Amino acid sequence: MFSLATIATIASCIFLFGIFYAIVVNVQYTVREAETSVAVTVFFDDGISDERIMEIGEEINKRPEVSEVVFVSADEAWNSFKEDYLGEYADGYEGDNPLEGSENYEIYMNDVSKQHSLVAYLETVDGIREINRSDATANILTNINNIISLVSIAIIAILFAVSLFLISTTVAMGISVRREEISIMKLIGATDFVVRSPFVIEGILIGIIGAAIPLVAVYFIYTQAVDYAMNQFNVLSDILKFLSVQEIFSKLIPIALILGVGLGFLGSIITVRRHLRV
Amino acid sequence: MITLQSVSKTYANGVPALNDVNLHIDKGEFVFIVGDSGSGKSTLIKLLLRELQPSSGQIIVNNYDLSKLSRRKVARFRRSIGVVFQDFRLLKDRNVYENVAFAQRVIEVPTRQIKKNVPAMLSLVGLAGKYKAKTRQLSGGEQQRVALARALVNNPPILLADEPTGNLDPRNSWEIMKLLEEINKRGTTVLVVTHNREIVNAMRKRVVTIKKGLVVSDEEKGEYIDED
């Protein structure tokens, strides 16, 4: 009875943690994906040499906040523009490139919050005529990241408090169940180690079972929820990004097991320790 | 075997339980400790088991000076004492065999040896046929026999019995007392705390009477002395 209550307590805590973990890592993943599409575009002075453009590219590449620098030639820029906006109406421009001199670097960052410092640097680079950036997008993404961090801390704190409350309750229950057994063992002449061992082994087993149950539950809920979201919100498939269940569980399984075993171990140690002084 | 020198015990709330008790029990003796409720008998048993420490005085049991015993050595000391309680204190979720084997496992006796010792001990107390029974299926007398088997399976030189017949009818009480006498004849020192006048008077053993924490009488082949 006590073991079932302990398993239920540990399973509830780890289940909540698992669901929360799956949500947070997916939101972070979506934001990270969005961040990778945010780029600063730089255009060059008229008449700049190809060598200087290459030098600028190499200098930018050395910046720590830069993850990738892509050179877009004037022809590529024009072809892309035609495809995106003109379609068949572009025929009248045949042989002409109205975007002559618009070759540029698209600079992708590993952290959009660093856009400001990157732009400040780019403004000092000789040969750059114009810098296009997306402050609004970068700010929104940075804010989302900050909110996720704060919400994560708050929810982890709440989960921790709830876990402690539930575990202290089950430990208190365990104490009344075990009191007589422990006192008998001590009066017969058992050492503390001998008294503690079966309880600790039991605690660890309870922790493993308490972790395995919510892992199975989270697995099914996650796969169902992702399928549902992908089908129902097909339109948002470019925005909504989900990690695969393997990616989630490669980290969730060890975390859940460590939590379960840790809680079971600590719970049993605390329960027994109070009664060893017989 | 057991020596108490000027032992006094006062509880933290100021209640005095034992006052300047001097007692010596030799190896192989059978001794009754008698007295009414609140006389200090249970405190004496707790002191002998090192559940409690005396407020003053010295207790030596089986060559262990209990006031100098470290926590680690308390376990070793208790292995030299078998103990039986009025409420049996058996593990209710285990069967008869497991309850007795439990005492052997606690002191890390090899399983092969346990399989020999436990049936032999159950035969001694007359429960060989009930080794599979859960303890809650047994009568009070049978439960006390299991407790006795558990207390004796590790061959302790001393057996402490705290009101062993307190929850038993007269017939079962006598059977338990006969078993204790038999165990004593085999060389175990037996100390029985009781207020069962009939048994004490019939068995004609050494009787130590405690009254309000003081030893008021200590007689060979003694009788139960009334409070007043």
How many distinct structural domains can be found in chain B?
Answer: 1
Q: What is the ipTM of this complex?
A: 0.81
What's residue A278's pLDDT?
Answer: 60
| H/E element, B184 | helix B170-185
Q: Indicate the DSSP class of residue B109.
A: -
Does residue B123 lie within any of the structural domains? yes
pLDDT of residue B166: 86
Task: Give the whole-angstrom CA distance, residue A191 versus residue B71.
Answer: 9
Kindly report, residue by residue over A15-60, the tens digit of the pLDDT.
888 888 888 888 888 877 777 777 888 888 888 888 888 888 898 8
Contact A192 B75 (CB under 8 A): yes
Assess whether A160 and A210 both reside in one domain.
Answer: yes
- Between CA B200 and CA B205 the distance in angstroms is 7
Over residues A96-151, the pLDDT tens digits come to 666 677 788 889 888 777 888 888 888 888 888 888 887 777 777 778 878 887 88
Tell me what pLDDT residue B136 has: 86
What pLDDT score does B58 carry?
95
Q: What is the rounded distance in angstroms from the CA atom of residue A201 to the CA atom of residue A209? A: 12
Domain boundary among A133, A162, A177: A133
Q: Kindly state the DSSP code that residue B107 receives in the 8-state scheme.
A: T
Band of residue A239 on the pLDDT scale cut at 50, 70, 90: low
Say which residues have a Cβ less than 8 Å from residue A254's Cβ, sequence separation at least 6. none
- How close, in Å, is residue A179 to chain B by CA atoms? 11
The beta-carbon neighbor of B106 closest among A180, A183, A194 is: A194
Would A188 be classed as within a structural domain? yes
Nearest to A187 among B71, B76, B78 (CB): B78
> Token match 């009025």: residue?
B86
Output the CA angle A255-A256-A259, nearest 5 degrees.
85
Cβ A194–B150 below 8 Å, yes or no? no
Cβ neighbours for B205, distance < 8 A, ≥ 6 positions apart: B30, B31, B32, B221, B222
Say if B195 falls within a structural domain: no
pLDDT, tens digit (0-9, with 9 covering 90-100), for A102-114: 788 889 888 777 8
In a domain, A106, yes or no: yes
The three-state secondary structure class of B80 is: coil
Cα–Cα distance measured from residue B135 to residue B124, given in angstroms and rounded to the nearest whole number: 18
Give ∠ CA A108-A110-A113 in degrees, rounded to 5. Answer: 95
Q: How far is B215 from chain A (nearest CA, A)?
A: 26
* pLDDT, position B209: 93
A229 shares a domain with A157: yes
Q: Is B107 on the interface with A (CB under 8 A)?
A: yes
Tell me if residue B35 falls in helix, strand or coil: coil
Q: Chain-centre distance of CA A100, in angstroms? A: 43
What is the per-residue burial (b if ≥16 Cβ within 10 Å, else e) of A177-215?
Answer: ebeebbbbbbbbbbbbebbbeebbebbbbbbbbbbbbbb
List B8's β-bridge partners, or say none: B56
Looking at the domain assignment, is residue A120 inside a domain? yes
- Write down the residue that tokens 């169902």 correspond to: A224
Cross-chain residue pair B75–A186, CB shorter than 8 Å:
yes
A129 and A254 co-located in one domain: no
Angle at B7 between CA B4 and CA B8, to 5 degrees: 155
pLDDT, mean over chain A: 81
Q: CA B88, CA B148: separation in Å to the nearest integer?
A: 9
pLDDT at B14: 85
Both A24 and A52 in one domain: the answer is: no
Domain co-membership, A215 together with A167: yes
The tokens for A135 are 């402050």
Residue ranges making up the domain that contains B117:
91-155
pLDDT at position A88:
66
- Please give the pLDDT value at position A93: 64
Side chain identity, residue B88: F
Residue of chain B nearest A197, judged by CA positions: B106
Residues of B in contact with A278 (CB under 8 A): 51
A121 with A172, same domain: the answer is no
Q: Are strands B16-25 and A39-44 parallel, antiparallel or unpaired?
A: unpaired
Backbone angles phi, psi at A133, to 5 degrees: -140, 165
Query: Has residue A199 been placed in a domain?
Result: yes
Q: Does B46 touch chain A (CB under 8 A)?
A: no
- A278 found inside a domain: no
Helix, strand or coil for residue B188? coil
Residue with tokens 């089986």: B62
3-state SS, chain A, equals CHHHHHHHHHHHHHHHHHHHHHHHHHHHHHHHHHHHCCEEEEEECCCCCHHHHHHHHHHHHCCCCEEEEEEECHHHHHHHHHHHHHHHHHHHHCCCCCCCCCCEEEEEECCHHHHHHHHHHHCCCCCEEEEECCHHHHHHHHHHHHHHHHHHHHHHHHHHHHHHHHHHHHHHHHHHHHHHHHHHHHHHCCCHHHHHHHHHHHHHHHHHHHHHHHHHHHHHHHHHHHHHHHHHCHHHHHCCCCCCHHHHHHHHHHHHHHHHHHHHHHHHHHHHHCCCCC
Is B161 an 8 Å CB contact of chain A?
A: no
B11 within a domain of the structure (yes/no) = no
Retrieve residue A9's tokens: 């307590």
Same domain, A10 and A118: no
Q: Domain boundary at A133, A158, A189, which?
A: A133
CA-nearest of B54, B52, B38 to B4 is B54
Residues with pLDDT less than 50, chain B: none
Judged by a CB distance cut-off of 8 A, whether residue A273 touches chain B is: no
Q: What is the DSSP annotation of B120-175?
A: HHHHHTT-GGGTTSBGGGS-HHHHHHHHHHHHHTT--SEEEEESTTTTS-HHHHHH
The tokens describing A193, both together, are 């180690």
pLDDT at residue number A249: 92
> Average pLDDT in the A215-229 region?
91
Which domain-ending residue is among A116, A133, A150?
A: A133
- In chain B, which residue's Cα lies nearest the Cα of A181? B91
Range of the domain at A214: 2-34+142-273
Q: DSSP assignment, residue B95?
A: B
Q: Which region among A70-79, A164-173, B177-186 has the lowest average model confidence (pLDDT)? A: A164-173
Chain A CB contacts of B103 under 8 Å are 188
Q: Which residue in B71, B78, B89 is closest to A189 by CB distance?
A: B78
**C-alpha span between A159 and A161 (Å, rounded):** 5
**Interchain CB contact of A240 with B (< 8 Å):** no
Q: The domain spanning residue A56 has which CATH number?
A: 3.30.70.3040
CA distances from B212 to A67, A223, B6, B16, B218 (A): 88, 74, 15, 9, 15
Å between B82 CA and nearest CA of chain A: 7
Domain total of chain A: 2
Contact between B102 and A278 using a beta-carbon 8 Å cutoff: no
Residue B167 in any domain: the answer is: no
Same structural domain, A157 and A254: yes
Confidence grade of residue A91 (pLDDT, cut at 50, 70, 90): low
CB proximity B145 to A under 8 Å: no
Q: In angstroms, rounded to a whole number, what is the distance separating the alpha carbons of residues A109 and A113?
A: 9
Contact B106 A185 (CB under 8 A): yes
Both A183 and A112 in one domain: the answer is no
Please compute the mean of the pLDDT values over residues A194-204 and round it to a whole number.
83
User: Chain B: residue nearest A189 by CA?
Assistant: B75
A82's tokens: 């035609």
Length of chain A: 278
